Structure 1
Amino acid sequence: MPDVIEVEELRRTYAGGFEAVRGISFSVARGELFALLGTNGAGKTSTVELLEGLAPPNAGSVRVLGHDPYTERAAVRPRTGVMLQEGGFPSELTVAETVRMWAGCTSGTEKGARRSRSVRGGGRATGGPVGEALELVGLTRRADVRVKQLSGGEKRRLDLALALLARPEVLFLDEPTTGLDAEGRHTTWELVRELRNAGTTVLLTTHYLEEAEALAERLAILHEGRIAAAGRVDEVVAAQPSHLSFELPDGYHLGDLPPLARLGVAGHEIEGRTVRLKTTALQHAATELLLWARDSRVELHGLDIRAASLEEAFLQIAREQEPTR
């Protein structure tokens, strides 16, 4: 299947010459969940706005579902759903009125409603597409409540309901779980997984790295308008070292340990009696260290063996990138 999203050498420059996006390229396959990450000011929002067709690029190209989302907006917009960071709903409308109003502005709603039956046993809700959208995000019982009376988390779920109303082929999620509690966040994750499994292509931006690690198959990390790292999540994480830390036993020094090269250690730090080791061969290093402790009949107090995480990879990439502007 051809890629649903294709980005080639994309650039976006604002008035005054500030270049927010500086020649990035990536693609998203049909049915894939792709995460676009980055520090504040990295260019995520500028990139997503180009993908959504809200502005034209200054250079490079964007294709969504085979079309230019800006010049061929009429061919793209009915097949996409967008969840912005903040919806800006009329506060006096009820939840159901808000969704009905949006449905009246969205083409393809009936088609989307038929597709929704493949997610969570769709069709149980009453009220057609509006009822189904509210059921998907758990707002059925709040249908008659005014928007101004919703909690922050409920407003985010309403944002998601509107994005899902026509059951889009491509779904853009911009910080979808901001303001949600832990239960609401995991419920949203499960819904997003179901949408992906039903064939929806999802592009996600999030500051919650745990969220990207839990949901995404591939990702790109932006830094100062360029892609600093990209690939499968496990590949990006594996490129960063894992960590072992422990307290040196009384009477022992660093030189009494097995040679660090034999442990596969790429770097180490010592603070007082605490030793911190970095390695890209965690299992080997941990095994050798524990065998040494057993044979030496010592106990390693405060032992902490931690595999690399996306958060650590993200922070390391941010530290390694030198300012280039």
Structure 2
Amino acid sequence: MPSPTARPTRTPSGAALVVDGLVKRYGGRAVVDGLALSARAGQVTAVLGPNGAGKTTTIECCEGLRAPDGGTVRVLGLDPHADAAALRPRVGVMLQDGGLPSGARALEVLRHVAAMYARPRNVGELVERLGLGSFARTPVRRLSGGQRQRLALACAVVGRPELVFLDEPSAGMDPQSRHAVWDLVRELRADGVAVVLTTHLLDEAEALADLVHVVDHGKVIASGAVPDLLARSADAGAEVTVRFTAPPGFDVAHVGAWLAERGVSDPAVTVGRRTLEDVFLDLTGRHLR
């Protein structure tokens, strides 16, 4: 039952998360400055941004860990800060540092978290899916980074959340573990869960996301499905992408020579396809933060 303080509000149909005009200041400086984004049930929404862009603060406001200084955040129609008790059984949170008790054994932690929910997922099934059995009796403090991430993911989804926040879910994992995580994320989406993903692995976002929000300087500077962002970025820039099929052994230098003969100065010819990383760098720049 919702807590007495819960105040459901009307949200767009299918919207599990709505952020409108969010402002958060530290020391008088707005690190989040009028930001707006949304996430829908049954979709993976990626929130991307360089370090210091305001992405982490935004997600912390959505998780109820910080109170906004302006604007509104609604999670499943509720205020995540004021209505935290009502949202706790409905929202899963996976933090990159895990937030796990260092002295407890891995399986003990997962069982303890599962016991907090009325209808948890089968713990044994999660152990099998995410390969937790090999370190089930190992204290959390002795787990590798990838093992901690798998345990943190299991804890985030064991309560069957309607909305789950995943922070760098496959960081530090080997390829096998990474694909197991991706399969679980896709399963959550198929089950109607709203998944909000933050990651610096842009191939992960490209593989999983239905919708991408790019954050920089405290605002969302671009939003859309991955194919739309790829097409929009190419149309807006000076680069022209030409795709063709060539026989085996074809020398790409011939293309450069052909372009030069037709007045294209200093043609830069590369083989490959445009990726979400290319779009991200076009939008946020290539300088270090």
TM-score band (shorter)? 0.7 to 0.9
Quote the offset at 1:26 in angstroms. 1.5
1:223 is matched with which residue?
216
Q: What value does the CA root-mean-square deviation take over the aligned residues?
A: 2.5
Contact conserved, 2:73 with 2:80, CA < 8 A, in 1?
A: yes
Among 248, 258, 261, which residue is 1:256 paired with? 261
Letter in 2 for 1:101: H
Among 239, 250, 253, which residue is 1:247 paired with? 253
State the secondary structure of the residue aligned to 2:284.
helix
Question: Structure 1 residues 110 and 319 mapped into 2: Cα distance closer, same or farther (>3 Å)?
Answer: same
Give yes or no for the alignment of 1:28 onto 2:39: yes
Contact conserved, 2:114 with 2:120, CA < 8 A, in 1?
A: no
Which structure 2 segments of 5+ residues have no match?
A: 1-12, 235-239, 243-250
Among 112, 133, 141, which residue is 2:126 paired with? 133
Question: Structure 1 residues 88 and 8 mapped into 2: Cα distance closer, same or farther (>3 Å)?
Answer: closer
Write the distance in 2 (CA, Å) between the matches of 1:214 and 1:10.
28
1:162-201 alignment, distance < 5 Å: 162-201=155-194
2:285 is matched with which residue?
319
Which structure 1 segments of 5+ residues have no match?
A: 114-128, 261-268, 278-303
Per-residue CA deviations over 1:38-95 (Å, capped at 9, x if unaligned) read 0110111100001101121111101111111111112111100000011243333211
1:228-239 alignment, distance < 5 Å: 228-239=221-232
1:195-214 alignment, distance < 5 Å: 195-214=188-207
For these two proteins, the number of residue pairs brought into alignment is 263
Contact conserved, 2:41 with 2:192, CA < 8 A, in 1?
A: yes
Quote the offset at 1:101 in angstroms. 3.0
Write the distance in 2 (CA, Å) between the matches of 1:144 and 1:73.
32
State the secondary structure of the residue aligned to 1:240.
helix
Among 266, 275, 278, which residue is 1:309 paired with? 275
Q: Which moved more, 1:90-99 or 1:31-40?
A: 90-99
Give yes or no for the alignment of 1:112 onto 2:120: yes
State the secondary structure of the residue aligned to 1:71.
coil
Quote the offset at 1:27 in angstroms. 1.5
The structure showing larger relative contact order (alpha-carbon pairs under 8 Å, at least 6 residues apart) is: 2
**Bigger Rg over Cα:** 1
Quote the offset at 1:248 in angstroms. 5.0
Quote the offset at 1:164 in angstroms. 1.1
State the secondary structure of the residue aligned to 2:72.
strand
Quote the offset at 1:156 in angstroms. 0.8
Report which of the two has the higher share of helix.
Answer: 1
Contact conserved, 1:9 with 1:59, CA < 8 A, in 2?
A: yes
Among 101, 117, 123, which residue is 2:112 paired with? 101
Among 13, 17, 37, which residue is 2:25 paired with? 13
Contact conserved, 1:37 with 1:44, CA < 8 A, in 2?
A: yes
Give yes or no for the alignment of 1:148 onto 2:148: no
Quote the offset at 1:219 in angstroms. 0.8
Contact conserved, 1:240 with 1:308, CA < 8 A, in 2?
A: no
Q: Which moved more, 1:226-235 or 1:208-217?
A: 226-235
State the secondary structure of the residue aligned to 2:233.
coil
State the secondary structure of the residue aligned to 1:111.
coil
Give yes or no for the alignment of 1:69 onto 2:80: yes
TM-score using structure 1 length: 0.74
Question: Structure 1 residues 110 and 131 mapped into 2: Cα distance closer, same or farther (>3 Å)?
Answer: farther
State the secondary structure of the residue aligned to 1:112.
coil
Question: Structure 1 residues 96 and 248 mapped into 2: Cα distance closer, same or farther (>3 Å)?
Answer: closer
Of all paired residues, the percent bearing the same amino acid is 41
Letter in 1 for 2:221: A
